[in-house]
Amino acid sequence: MLSSLSSPSAATDAPGGPTHAPQLDVAADLLVLLHVTGTEPRPNAQLEALTLAVAADLPVLLWGEPGIGKTAALTQLAASLDLPLTTVIASVHEPSDFSGLPVVGDDPATQGVPMAPPDWAVRLVRAGRGLLFLDELSTAPPAVQAALLRLVLERRVGALRLPPEVRIVAAANPRSSAADGWELSPPLANRFVHLQWAYDHQVVVRGLGGTWATAPLPQLDPSRLPEAVAFARRAVCGLLTARPALVHRLPNTEARRGGAWPSPRTWEMTLRLVAFATAAGTSREVLSMLVGGAVGDGPGLELLASLDRMDLPDPEALLADPAEADLPERGDLRQTVLDAVVEAVRQRPDRSRWEAAWTVLVRAMETGAPDLVVVPATTLAALRQADWDVPAAIDRLAGVVSVSRAADRAAARIAASAGARQ
């Protein structure tokens, strides 16, 4: 086909005839037109999580099938952060390319033998900043993975230390779809924040149509930095105090050891990620990606649940000003708050506190699902002492409680009837 595009007949003009451009020049013009595309803003939780992890100076590992845009995402991120991108294919390098090549000087007995770094590391040091992209990490053999340990954690290549403004991101395909793939060694896997990368069908279709998506990057709020650090420390330390078994948990299988799992190192990474996410005001989806990518899904979910409980209002504050009670929107969190209010009254029974709790329950009924107040109302009613008058608020809840009990009795009758027929 190339010979037909550049054949002499196509590139030679007839004497006196019209001038025709060589076919390869026409092909180049067509390629230029194919690369002319526009952009449109579109939120991207994956890219937001990646950006925050990079901003937190943590090594990131993107997992995804071949051809879904991991390299394109890194290119966009480097351009957005104005960082030069240096790509190193880990699988085609020898261990000495990362640990350094020995160079014998004039007097090695007294001066030693220095380890010379590769050219890409020298370029990064000269630039003083950059984004180092370690591609095809899952195809790197164990010897190369071992050589990468010091690079990923200490940023050292031979005798050279990479500048603080250099960030490290790697990409890998699952072993099942990698060319001669290997599982990641536990020491190397435990140095990364693991993010699962997937494509968005609509983004791909619109991009092929000429309009690619660009995601706005998260912005850190300078006024929230001290608050973010205090919140992150309180969250992580509070969870690990209550659940000491989560401090270090090495998975049993080789495949899971090559992913995210909890250790003191990854909990320190998680603390940093929570602080950055809090300062940027990111969504729960992004925060879930980050903490799960550092310590694994199970410990990550426990931390998120702990964060939810930290954000719950103080029951004593609600009892002090029940008419202005600000209750969570989520049903499970609202139920937890109402139970806590009733428990606070039970711990310190007082008529005014008991009446304030009824006001809180009424507000919960008016601003959310009424069925959530049934159990707290029943428990609160049992706390009434003989000399306490029944507050007017109970009348507003009576209908809800009676309807709920009627529904429960009906459900019990149906279940009993079904059991009798079997």
pTM: 0.73
* Opening angle at CA 224, ends 221 and 228, nearest 5: 115
Predicted pLDDT at 199 = 83
Q: Return d(Cα 49, Cα 293) in angstroms, integer.
A: 10
End-to-end, the C-alpha distance of the chain in Å comes to 75
Q: For residue 106, what are the contacts with CB-CB under 8 A and spacing of at least 6? A: none
| Cα angle value 97/101/103 (rounded, 5°) | 160
In sequence order, which ranges of 348-392 are alpha helices (DSSP H)?
351-367, 374-382
Q: What is the pLDDT of residue 275?
A: 96
Fold type of domain 38-101+116-214: Rossmann fold (3.40.50)
Question: Percent of the chain beyond pLDDT 90?
Answer: 32
pLDDT value at residue 112 = 65
Q: Rounded to an integer, what distance in angstroms lies between the CA atom of residue 337 and that of residue 315? A: 7
Q: Per-residue pLDDT tens for 79-114?
A: 888 899 999 988 788 887 787 777 766 666 666 667
Question: Ranked by mean pLDDT, which of 119-133, 205-219, 357-371 comes out on top?
Answer: 119-133
Q: pLDDT of 299-322, one tens digit each?
A: 999 999 888 877 788 888 889 888
DSSP per-residue letters across 196-237: E----HHHHHHHHTTEEEEPPPP---GGGHHHHHHHHHHHHH
β-bridge pairing 193-196 and 60-63: parallel
